Amino acid sequence: MNVIFRIFKSARKNQKKKIEEKREFLRKTSFRPNRFFYMVVIQKLIT
């Protein structure tokens, strides 16, 4: 159980990093047209 939790935790940490990278990318590009794309990306990360 503990091992699974640890793996899950590290996976979440990686996801957080990816989300921050995506945020940074979206900040550099025009945000409005990418809003839908960003929502899709988050949806994919959650599932």
The residue ranges of every structural domain in the chain are 2-46
Predicted local distance difference test score (pLDDT) of residue 20: 82
32 — pLDDT class (breaks 50, 70, 90): low
Predicted local distance difference test score (pLDDT) of residue 40: 81
Spatial CB neighbours of 45, under 8 Å, sequence gap ≥ 6? 15, 18, 19
pTM of the entire predicted model: 0.32
Map tokens 């979206």 to a residue. Answer: 26
Q: What is the 3-class SS of 22-41, one letter each residue?
A: HHHHHHHCCHHHHHHHHHHH
Give per-residue pLDDT as tens, 18-31.
778 877 777 766 55
